[in-house]
């Protein structure tokens, strides 16, 4: 099983969208991948628009919740293959020490997205911002799932993830 942790400061929008989309696509494609999300300052609530656009796309949102990244630094946490940041604030933070596969630290990557929670305009404009972010994240998650994750070395995986982030 490949375990991927997606980080964002408040764990209420972008990281939730990424967790939902990655788990959805992994299940659809029969991939042995499990995504989680967390934040360094979790809000304690998921943005309702994040849940709405995921549900509209047919994504199961039943297990999604805002949580601290400390849950994934514990000794009984899943061994992480990848730790991904999706907002600039989390990318700049000093992360806890996460446990990786075979004692190696997980591969780290930053795929930044504008915060849809900060979108201007009426409710329709805000919902559109969330949907566009969901689509952008979903596209990269599909690219990630096309990689031969189980057979890639750390360096090869890091390069492939950086290339996806540039696409």
Residue 8 annotated among the catalytic residues of the structure: yes
Assigned domain for 21 exists: yes
Give the residue ranges of the chain where pLDDT is below 50. Answer: none
What is the extent of the structural domain holding 122? 2-162
Catalytic residue among 4, 84, 86, 95: 95
Q: Supply the pLDDT for residue 92.
A: 53
pTM strictly above 0.85: yes
Asked, for residue 101, whether it belongs to a domain, the answer is: yes
Is-catalytic flag, 95? yes
Q: Is residue 104 part of a domain?
A: yes
| Predicted pLDDT at 11 | 94
Residue 111 covered by a domain: yes
Q: Would you state the pLDDT for residue 76?
A: 84
- The answer to the question of residue 131 being in a domain is yes
47 found inside a domain:
yes
The CATH number of the domain where 23 resides is what? 3.40.50.2300
Q: Does residue 120 fall inside a structural domain?
A: yes
pLDDT at residue number 105: 87
Catalytic hit among 87, 91, 137, 147: 87
Domains of the chain: total:
1
CA atoms in the 13 A half-sphere facing the CB of 84 = 30
Determine, yes or no, domain membership for 167.
no
Which of these is catalytic: 4, 7, 8, 137? 8
């Amino acid at each position: 099983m490949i375990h991927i942790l997606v980080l964002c400061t408040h764990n209420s929008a972008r990281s939730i969208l990424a967790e939902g989309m990655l788990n959805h696509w992994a299940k659809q494609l029969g991939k042995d991948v499990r995504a989680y999300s967390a934040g360094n300052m979790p809000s304690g609530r998921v943005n309702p628009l994040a849940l709405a656009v995921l549900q509209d796309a047919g994504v199961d949102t039943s297990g999604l919740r805002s949580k601290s990244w400390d849950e994934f630094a514990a000794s009984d946490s899943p061994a992480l293959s990848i730790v991904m940041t999706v907002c600039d604030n989390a990318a700049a933070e000093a992360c806890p020490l996460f446990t990786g596969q075979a004692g190696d630290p997980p591969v780290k990557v930053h795929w930044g997205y504008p915060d849809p929670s900060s979108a201007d305009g009426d409710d329709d404009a805000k919902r559109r911002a969330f949907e566009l972010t969901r689509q952008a994240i979903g596209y990269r998650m599909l690219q990630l799932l096309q990689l031969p994750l189980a057979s890639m070395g750390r360096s090869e995986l890091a390069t492939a993830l950086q290339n996806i982030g540039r696409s």
